[in-house]
Amino acid sequence: MSDLMNERVVRHSPSRGVGSPDVWGIYEPDTGSIQYVCADPATKGAALIDVVWNFDPKHGRTDLGSMKQVLELVRENGLTVEWILDTHPHADHLMASANLKDVLGAPTAIGKRVHDIAALWREIYNMPDAFDPDRDFDRLFEEGETFRIGGLEARVMLSPGHTVGSITYVVGDAAFVHDTLMQPDAGTSRSDFPGGDTAVLWESIQAILALPEETRIFVGHDYGTDERTEPMWEATVAEHKASNVHVKDGTDREEWIERRQARDATLALPDRIFAALQINLRGGRLPEPESDGRHYLKLPVNRL
């Protein structure tokens, strides 16, 4: 089998009938991120979820390649983008939300507890006046809020643990669960970033697994496994409950917490984290240019 983990793989999960969205997943290989297009097959109204603004941390250069790929998919399928959504301020990649809004004019949204995440990172960066989510996002969703994508109802679930303010979007039989679950053969996501909490992540995962068993779970990342060299990002609730290597049915909560924390202790920080949070907490915008017209990012030393 060829190794597809280094390619921009696109896969379509078709609607299963009334109330069920069409979903396209677009794999971004540099960060193992999955970007999503969620569309109402009847109206062609769509939402873009967790789209990546590419960033080369070695050279400090940005690139719009992934965003352009997503926009081309939208065009090819005759979709109208009504929402630009993020599940949380990502630590491993720059969000393309502001760039997408400049092109499409659609509103951007994230969870309201982004305010709590901003407060944590103001202290880490020693930037007490930085970050204004009310200014930089058009909508801050509360737990349980609903909105529409075309004729489909979307519901917001607060799903903290990976961050204090992560949210899940449930649209019909599709749930976009970000950095909570991985694929069943990979388990679950880390909980050791500032504001993360392993016990809270357990509760968020249990709430996701309480969704109807036919619900399609779309995860935020995939890094493959020793046995699998093709990126995957979709499995049903039933499949996770039957075979997720970390949290299948019968898993003991305390044993999982101990295993998750031990695993997290071995993980390096993402190489984009300090750049990503400064940009993502501005809604995907660079800091204001300095006197030379250029943008600069701050690097905390010996801080995490």
Kindly state the average pLDDT of the residues 128-150.
Answer: 98
Residues 156, 211, 171: CA angle, nearest 5 degrees:
45
Backbone angles phi, psi at 165, to 5 degrees: -125, 20
For the chain, give every domain's residue range.
10-277
Question: Residue 271 and residue 154: Cα distance in Å, rounded?
Answer: 33
Question: Residue 71 and residue 90: Cα distance in Å, rounded?
Answer: 21
Q: What is the pLDDT of residue 2?
A: 56
Edge-to-edge order in the sheet of strand 174-178: 146-149, 152-158, 167-171, 174-178, 216-219, 234-236
Q: What is the pLDDT of residue 1?
A: 39
Edge-to-edge order in the sheet of strand 52-56: 61-63, 52-56, 94-95
Q: What is the pLDDT of residue 127?
A: 97
The 10s digit of each residue's pLDDT in 165-202 is 999 999 999 999 999 999 999 999 999 999 999 999 99
The 10s digit of each residue's pLDDT in 43-58 is 999 999 999 999 999 9
pTM above 0.85, yes or no: yes
| Neighbour tally for 228: CB within 10 Å | 16
Question: What average pLDDT does the structure give for the chain?
Answer: 97
Report, at the CATH architecture level, how domain 10-277 is classified: 4-Layer Sandwich (3.60)
The 10s digit of each residue's pLDDT in 237-272 is 999 999 999 999 999 999 999 999 999 999 999 999
